[in-house]
Amino acid sequence: MTQRLNYFQQSPVLVKKFIELNNLLKDGTIEESIRDLVSIRASQLNGCGFCLDMHVKEAHIHGERELRIHHLAAWRESTLFAPRERAALAWTEVLTRLPEHGVPDDIYERVRTQFSEQELSDLTFDVMAINGWNRANVAFKMVPGSFDKAFGLDKANLA
């Protein structure tokens, strides 16, 4: 795959602000393990190889079990995810692929049983952020692994 353009170079101020948002989210109410699962699942749904590669490596560095990463594509059938994680994954999917008539009440109610209002708001921003990154990286055909050294992902030893 050949990268179309480097939006980091073309829009440095915007990228910097988007990175600032991501850094704020890291200090938010959603635990790192759920943010990792959300990022991987949204990237799978959006077909973003760059983000999928990056977030699998991050999850590995953060100690996520390899089998759980493999099960993400079939999380509904897997027994490896807790109810809070399942709710986060359902929320990720519905916001990534917005239904024609919006988010169904049953999904919202299910997620609300696992997350406080602030957590749900923070989780929504996590989903918004990864979907934004996915769209930019897919649009410009960012090459998976091309920023590993810069982002410290070479430490995952998954090459």
DSSP string across the chain: ------HHHHSHHHHHHHHHHHHHHHTSSS-HHHHHHHHHHHHHHHT-HHHHHHHHHHHHHTT--HHHHHHGGGTTT-SSS-HHHHHHHHHHHHHHT--TT-S-HHHHHHHHTTS-HHHHHHHHHHHHHHHHHHHHHHHTTPPTTTTHHHHTGGGG---
Give the pLDDT of residue 50.
96
Give the pLDDT of residue 101.
94
Name the architecture of domain 11-156: Up-down Bundle (1.20)
Give the pLDDT of residue 1.
79
Give the pLDDT of residue 152.
86
Give the pLDDT of residue 49.
97
For residue 123, what are its two tokens?
A: 């989780």
Give the pLDDT of residue 148.
82
Give the pLDDT of residue 4.
95
Give the pLDDT of residue 74.
97
Per residue of the chain (159 residues), give pLDDT as tens: 799 999 999 999 999 999 999 999 999 999 999 999 999 999 999 999 999 999 999 999 999 999 999 999 999 999 999 999 999 999 999 999 999 999 999 999 999 999 999 999 999 999 999 999 999 999 999 999 888 888 888 888 886
